[in-house]
Structure 1
Amino acid sequence: MSHQTVVVLDFGGQYNQLIARRVRECSVYCEVLPYKTPLAEVLAKKPIGIIFTGGPNSVYLNDSPHVDPAIFEQGIPVLGICYGSQLMAHNLGGRVTAAEEDTAREYGKTKTYFNTSCKLFQGLPTEGITWMSHGDYMEKVPDGFSLVAHSDACPNVAICDESRGFYGVQYHPEVNHTQHGIDMIHNFLYLVCGARGDWTMGDYARNTIDALRKKVGDGKVLLALSGGVDSSVAAALLSKAVGDQLTCIFVDHGLMRKNEGDEVEAAFKDRSLNFVRVNAGERFLGKLAGISEPEKKRKIIGEEFIRVFEEEAKKIGQVDFLAQGTIYPDIIESGMGDAAVIKSHHNVGGLPDYVDFKEIVEPLRLLFKDETRALGRELGLPDYLVNRQPFPGPGLAIRIIGEITPEKVTTLQDADWIFREEIAKAKLDRDIHQYFAVLTNMRSVGVMGDGRTYDYTLALRGVTTTDFMTADWARIPYETLDLISRRIVNEVRGINRIVYDITSKPPATIEWE
């Protein structure tokens, strides 16, 4: 069964993954493609609709990103968001200019008024709050377009040419700050594009299992199993597809959380899987000795993972496929087209140039995190695996700032364990979606037992999120933070100061490195 598809053309905006996620929430499959993707490749996806994302540029500058104007002649509905709206206007005969300080330049939450006869706003309130972030505005609207939303400062907040299915909004409907934003996206998909809503995890599971069987045939598969949500779901999916042709390799790189290696082994050893644990802590720490730069850490770990898998594969016999739990945000954050590399994921940008397998299989590479969890439930995985807190592949290597030593690893493991234990005792573990400790490379003066100390500062990080693409810092009660701080300083040697990270994503990422 083929799914209806919406193409999201990426112009470099900070919320572009979120746009794709919102489309998927509406049960419509979509893919994010760089804006430079040739039109023929876009059309080959047979999209029922196209969405232009936001971006940091001004459309009237010569070096700004553009699209093939023929995209507007294909009879395919287009929704332009922020820069995407201005791009549409610019291409179709309108005029976009820099806004004056006291007129149409808008940032943040803005009261907006909607014409609900427009399909985009059908069935919604006539006014509400939208999230604005633009310094340019559409001074002249293209012929054939109507003004369908305005604010007190800007008359051209939204435009449409319903005869051609073209819609443009100056604000960001994909963010939670915009009231009814997802309803607007839903209206575009269903009322304009004619979506059927055929993207479900049940269908994805069945289709992917069939595709894996055809691809693998009678070959053998080696899966990189970390015990995290992504690799656990990949293991369940591959197990249903190829059975005992699958071997799961758990590489304990010595950078797991406290006791986690034993917990992963206990979780999988009785699940009818060929499970192999490789204790390689000394090997990884040796490779990382003296390395402080985070991208180098990721790449070293990525390559060493592959080398370990290759060695284990030779012990098993001929293995044709290497499987990984790579998910869609890993692909996008590691850089697509002209998109910035936010961080190289050890299983994407961290892969070495040469891999000694016939092919790498990534059955989750089109899924977002919450879709992966939904697939896990569809496959019957237990709740404690499906809802396991995310843990990065490089492990504590990117939660220790600066050089990594065995002593620092032990220190961080002990401190992180106390943090997580107290969060669970306070019954906050389901409300805070990711929480962990970071051992900084900053040392400061303290006093303990009437004596001077000069030890490390530990940072605590907790976030709440619905999709792990944007996140807000968690409001942990002061009493809980106080207890955590006192326990860590008293019980963990080498730490004399605790700080709490109150930065959201964006501008920060969830992990520190």
Structure 2
Amino acid sequence: MQHRPQNWILILDFGSQYTQLIARRVRELNVYCEIHPFNKDLATFADNPPNGVILSGGPSSVNDENAPNINEDIFNWDVPVLGICYGLQILAHNEISGSVEKADRREFGRSELIVDDNTDLLKEIPEESVVWMSHGDHIKELSSNYEVIAHTDNAHVAAVRHDEKPIYGVQFHPEVVHTVYGGQILQNFVYSICHLKGSWTAKSFIESTIEEIREKVGDDRVICGLSGGVDSTVVATLVHEAIGDQLQCIFVDNGVLRKNEFQDVLDIYEDQLHLPVKGIDASDKFLERLKGVVDPEMKRITIGETFIEVFDEAIAHDDSYKYLAQGTLYPDVIESISFKGPSATIKSHHNVGGLPEEMNLDLIEPVRELFKDEVRNVGRELGIPEHFIKRHPFPGPGLAIRIISDVDRPKLDILREADDIFISELRKNDLYDEVWQALAVLLPVQSVGVMGDERTYEFTIGLRAVTSVDGMTADWAHLPHPFLAHVSNRIINEVRGINRVVYDISSKPPSTIEWE
């Protein structure tokens, strides 16, 4: 499903590590935007062209052989364009070949921006403010069609404006928090220059999505696989609002859920959310398929294929089911495919890259273009209880990708107990809502320990807790040391098979939140 509203911003990605931040900042202005690779076929948008275009930064030099180039057809739309870092340099380079060269002094980190003209893009920006630079090239020569509207001590061209067309560029990154007035700059571009209003809200998304679902489904029926997480629950509630009893939800015990998860969540679905849900215990089938599988991608594929098989079996007697609804998110899509053109695939998700090539059901993915916090806001607008909205993300492949080896029942039992202790202690100490996600990982590492004067040789549990806004970037949570010591002590004393606990202090990037 495509939920692109009439008014929107197109972000063309040249490979920047900050591209997702641009989207986040624009959406925080309640303006819809989409990220597409720089070489996207623009004919795709012929029926609904964007109201503005942002060109992202990127790791290349415009002087590199085969450097990503701009599709100049965007100028035929006659809409405002904002180039950021590489995006500005490619604008300058296309005007004058050789206008960009390596800087004598590269500029990375904070810099002092001096505003020369604050009438439009830099409106309400102080004469001097801090911006975030990240570039090794700089603009040596600027076309006479452009005028400089800001500079720094090291970059005589830090922001520019075309003298006839609504084309702008900045050498710094307004999307990062270190650029103090970056949000204001993007607001100036989106509101004042592109003339958009902040009308894209959770409420408007729900209204348009319900209408789209009704139109697409018609009189057919939809089956929705519930994972127990926020994403699939919001999707189920959206679809239920749209088509009522034409929806049938299935909550599958895949054998890799957390302790008591299956029954506890099933009760919430039935008693609090009043969803039409059927619980299916398919744990034996999943665990049999996972036997001996070590590679995390194969785990995802195996679980994805088995889910579809279970769904197909559940509705084999009824050919009125035509659609499968699932909770794919924007980060899932970005991380699962080479969504940004030259970027590399990080990992597939069971509900994106793990689906079989041929299915008997067509997909409905209502929140495919949303970030996690946006999904939560939609859930709140739909009336889903706050205690459920605040549940930490839990991957579709469940504990299978938190066992860093092959999966079997004894390992699952160990991990479930350790995970339950960690999560329950976070709740008890009012720390659960302070972190974005917390999890325990069973490592394929056994080490020597001493318990009751006896030598042990048992497994290691890794604890991970991160803070984040949307899951695209994350920092490790600085949990109190006494708390971690208490959790470690409980796990080692109460969980047979564990004699060592470690805490993961890596951030995303370079690491991912999950270990697999």
TM-score scaled by length of structure 2: 0.94
Q: After superposition, what is the alpha-carbon deviation per residue over 1:140-182, rounded to whole angstroms, capped at 9, x for unaligned?
A: 2232222233333332232222532222222222222221222
CA distance change for structure 1 residues 248 and 90 in 2, over 3 Å: closer, same or farther?
Answer: same
Gaps of 5+ in 2: none
Give the CA RMSD over aligned residues. Answer: 1.8
Question: Is the contact made by 2:237 and 2:275 (CA closer than 8 Å) also made in structure 1?
Answer: no
Counterpart of 1:12 in structure 2 is 15
Cα distance, 1:254 vs. partner? Answer: 1.1
SS of residue matched to 1:112: strand
Counterpart of 1:99 in structure 2 is 103
The answer to whether the aligner puts 1:355 opposite 2:359 as a matched pair is yes
Question: Is the contact made by 1:160 and 1:168 (CA closer than 8 Å) also made in structure 2?
Answer: yes
SS of residue matched to 2:100: strand
- Give the alignment partner of residue 53 of structure 1, picking from 28, 53, 56: 56
Question: Is the contact made by 1:443 and 1:454 (CA closer than 8 Å) also made in structure 2?
Answer: yes
After TM superposition, the structure 1 = structure 2 runs for residues 20-169 of structure 1, keeping only pairs within 5 Å, are: 20-93=23-96, 95-100=99-104, 103=105, 105-115=106-116, 117-161=118-162, 163-169=164-170
The answer to whether the aligner puts 1:433 opposite 2:433 as a matched pair is no
Cα distance, 1:247 vs. partner? Answer: 0.3
User: 1: distance between equivalents of 2:77 and 2:71?
Assistant: 11
User: 2: distance between equivalents of 1:54 and 1:114?
Assistant: 21
Q: After superposition, what is the alpha-carbon deviation per residue over 1:389-429, rounded to whole angstroms, capped at 9, x for unaligned?
A: 11111111111112222111111111111111111122111
- Give the alignment partner of residue 294 of structure 2, picking from 288, 292, 295: 292
Q: After superposition, what is the alpha-carbon deviation per residue over 1:438-466, rounded to whole angstroms, capped at 9, x for unaligned?
A: 11212222222222222222211111112
CA distance change for structure 1 residues 410 and 151 in 2, over 3 Å: closer, same or farther?
Answer: farther
Counterpart of 2:283 in structure 1 is 281
- Give the alignment partner of residue 445 of structure 2, picking from 433, 442, 445: 442
After TM superposition, the structure 1 = structure 2 runs for residues 191-206 of structure 1, keeping only pairs within 5 Å, are: 191-206=192-207
SS of residue matched to 2:255: coil
After TM superposition, the structure 1 = structure 2 runs for residues 263-412 of structure 1, keeping only pairs within 5 Å, are: 263-270=264-271, 271-335=273-337, 336=339, 337-357=341-361, 359-412=362-415
CA distance change for structure 1 residues 314 and 79 in 2, over 3 Å: closer, same or farther?
Answer: same
User: 2: distance between equivalents of 1:31 and 1:298?
Assistant: 27
Question: Is the contact made by 1:3 and 1:29 (CA closer than 8 Å) also made in structure 2?
Answer: no
Q: Letter of the aligned partner of 2:336 in structure 1?
A: S
Q: Among all aligned residue pairs of Structure 1 and Structure 2, give the percentage whose two residues are the same amino acid.
A: 49
Counterpart of 1:221 in structure 2 is 222
- Which has the larger displacement, 232-241 or 69-78? 69-78
Cα distance, 1:18 vs. partner? Answer: 2.1
Cα distance, 1:2 vs. partner? Answer: 4.3
User: 2: distance between equivalents of 1:157 and 1:442?
Assistant: 51
User: 1: distance between equivalents of 2:115 and 2:364?
Assistant: 47
Cα distance, 1:329 vs. partner? Answer: 1.8
Q: After superposition, what is the alpha-carbon deviation per residue over 1:297-355, rounded to whole angstroms, capped at 9, x for unaligned?
A: 11111111111111111145531111111122212221224432221111111111010
Question: Is the contact made by 1:69 and 1:91 (CA closer than 8 Å) also made in structure 2?
Answer: no
SS of residue matched to 1:140: coil
SS of residue matched to 2:177: coil
User: 2: distance between equivalents of 1:459 and 1:151?
Assistant: 46
Counterpart of 2:187 in structure 1 is 186
Cα distance, 1:43 vs. partner? Answer: 4.7
User: 2: distance between equivalents of 1:269 and 1:501?
Assistant: 37
User: 2: distance between equivalents of 1:17 and 1:258?
Assistant: 34
User: 2: distance between equivalents of 1:435 and 1:57?
Assistant: 36
User: 2: distance between equivalents of 1:18 and 1:184?
Assistant: 14
User: 1: distance between equivalents of 2:276 and 2:124?
Assistant: 53
TM-score scaled by length of structure 1: 0.95
User: 1: distance between equivalents of 2:419 and 2:317?
Assistant: 35
CA distance change for structure 1 residues 291 and 365 in 2, over 3 Å: closer, same or farther?
Answer: same
User: 2: distance between equivalents of 1:63 and 1:78?
Assistant: 23
Counterpart of 2:500 in structure 1 is 497
Q: Letter of the aligned partner of 1:197 in structure 2?
A: G
Q: After superposition, what is the alpha-carbon deviation per residue over 1:258-315, rounded to whole angstroms, capped at 9, x for unaligned?
A: 1111111010123433211111112111111111111111111111111111111114
- Which has the larger displacement, 240-249 or 76-85? 76-85
CA distance change for structure 1 residues 488 and 2 in 2, over 3 Å: closer, same or farther?
Answer: closer
- Which has the larger displacement, 306-315 or 65-74? 65-74
Cα distance, 1:239 vs. partner? Answer: 0.7
Question: Is the contact made by 1:116 and 1:125 (CA closer than 8 Å) also made in structure 2?
Answer: no
Q: After superposition, what is the alpha-carbon deviation per residue over 1:18-39, rounded to whole angstroms, capped at 9, x for unaligned?
A: 2112111111111111211123
Counterpart of 1:451 in structure 2 is 454
User: 1: distance between equivalents of 2:117 and 2:430?
Assistant: 44
User: 2: distance between equivalents of 1:190 and 1:97?
Assistant: 33
User: 1: distance between equivalents of 2:386 and 2:404?
Assistant: 32
CA distance change for structure 1 residues 177 and 438 in 2, over 3 Å: closer, same or farther?
Answer: farther
Q: Letter of the aligned partner of 1:400 in structure 2?
A: I
- Which has the larger displacement, 43-52 or 374-383? 43-52
User: 1: distance between equivalents of 2:445 and 2:41?
Assistant: 48
Cα distance, 1:477 vs. partner? Answer: 0.8
User: 1: distance between equivalents of 2:350 and 2:501?
Assistant: 29
The answer to whether the aligner puts 1:419 opposite 2:427 as a matched pair is no
User: 1: distance between equivalents of 2:109 and 2:446?
Assistant: 38
> How many residues are matched?
509
User: 1: distance between equivalents of 2:169 and 2:221?
Assistant: 49
User: 2: distance between equivalents of 1:423 and 1:494?
Assistant: 22
SS of residue matched to 1:230: helix
Question: Is the contact made by 1:116 and 1:124 (CA closer than 8 Å) also made in structure 2?
Answer: no
User: 2: distance between equivalents of 1:128 and 1:259?
Assistant: 53
Question: Is the contact made by 1:464 and 1:471 (CA closer than 8 Å) also made in structure 2?
Answer: yes
Cα distance, 1:14 vs. partner? Answer: 1.8
